[in-house]
Amino acid sequence: MTKQEKVAFVIDQLEEKYPETPIPLDHKDPYTLLIAVLLSAQSTDKGVNKVTPILFNRADNPYDMIKLSVEEIREIIKPVGLSPMKSKGIYGLSHIIIDQHHGKVPQTFEDLEALPAVGHKTAGVVMSQAFNIPAFPVDTHIHRLMYRWGFTNGKNVMQTEKDAKRLFPIEIWNKLHLQIIFYGREYSPARGWNLENDIITKTIGRKTIINSYHKKRVIK
């Protein structure tokens, strides 16, 4: 297969398996999505979805959020981890959204990434899923699969993002990044990986990855 044929194969497989791509983090608007994505750093979507109903019952907009103290926010979000940093970030960004953006979540990467505790990936998720602006946020699943499939050198997530944007059509970025995440979780995880179930990697993956997998299986 040529690289373009591999890209087409990936798109077809993912569209067949995941024609619908619901956002896995519960939210109702750009602000609650921003908070949920921020909370998901080094945590699971399931864990975040247990915490956000409690938090959003107290404050689901920046005006109500700043009525809480950092300590109150921290106590609520403690189960998802990194609560000291995340609580300060939530409180701080809520103030900035009110003071600098009239209470609305900004719609540019520059403004989003200027918010406390908001990195490039978080900004990308908000841009793509809240505002439908093309973006390709790269998480650990996408970074792993893009390398396994031979589409990137795996050096860092920024390079992986550039390679993904170069290979895949811009009009499908917003849906595709979720499809890859879903596929990675179900068929190509970092641990407990079964190559026989991973049709994409089995078909187009790096030979070094596939050979390494088989060697480990033989040793076991």
Q: What is the pLDDT of residues 134-163, one digit of tens each?
A: 999 999 999 999 999 999 998 899 999 999
In angstroms, the Cα distances linking 94 to 35, 54, 97, 129 are 10, 17, 5, 20
Q: Hey, what CATH topology would domain 3-20+137-219 get?
A: Endonuclease Iii, domain 2 (1.10.1670)
Angle at 206 between CA 200 and CA 208, to 5 degrees: 135
For residues 198-202, average pLDDT = 98
For residues 3-25, average pLDDT = 97
DSSP strands (E only) in the chain: none
Burial class (CB in 10 A: 0-12, 13-18, 19+), 15: middle
Percent of the chain with pLDDT over 70: 99
* Three-state secondary structure call for residue 214: helix
What's the distance, CA 151 to chain centroid?
18
Which of 139, 155, 165, 198 does the annotation list as catalytic? 139
For residues 168-195, average pLDDT = 97
pLDDT for the residue numbered 218: 65
Q: Other CB atoms closer than 10 Å to residue 88's CB: what's the count?
A: 15
Query: What is the residue-averaged pLDDT of the chain?
Result: 96
pLDDT tier, 181 (very low <50, low <70, confident <90, very high otherwise):
very high
Residues 6+ apart with CB under 8 A from 96: 114, 115, 116
pLDDT for the residue numbered 79: 96
Which of 6, 86, 121, 198 does the annotation list as catalytic? 121
Q: Which CATH number fits domain 30-130: 1.10.340.30, 1.10.10.10, 3.10.20.600, 3.40.50.620?
A: 1.10.340.30
Please confirm, yes or no, whether 86 is among the known catalytic residues. no
pLDDT for the residue numbered 39: 98
pTM: 0.91
8 A C-beta contact, residue 30 and residue 118: no
Domain ranges of the chain: 3-20+137-219, 30-130
Instruction: Report helix angle 30-39 to 83-101, nearest 10.
Output: 160
Q: Which one is predicted more confidently, 215 or 31? A: 31
pLDDT tier, 8 (very low <50, low <70, confident <90, very high otherwise):
very high
Answer yes or no: is pLDDT of 220 > 60: no
Residues 6+ apart with CB under 8 A from 124: 109, 135, 136, 137, 138, 161
Domain 3-20+137-219 and domain 30-130, same fold? Reply is: no
What are 49-66's pLDDT values in tens digits? Answer: 999 999 999 999 999 999
Q: Return the closest-CA partner of residue 18 out of 181, 128, 173.
A: 181
Please confirm, yes or no, whether 139 is among the known catalytic residues. yes
For residues 6-26, average pLDDT = 97
Q: Return the closest-CA partner of residue 86 out of 135, 42, 128, 127.
A: 42
pLDDT for the residue numbered 95: 98
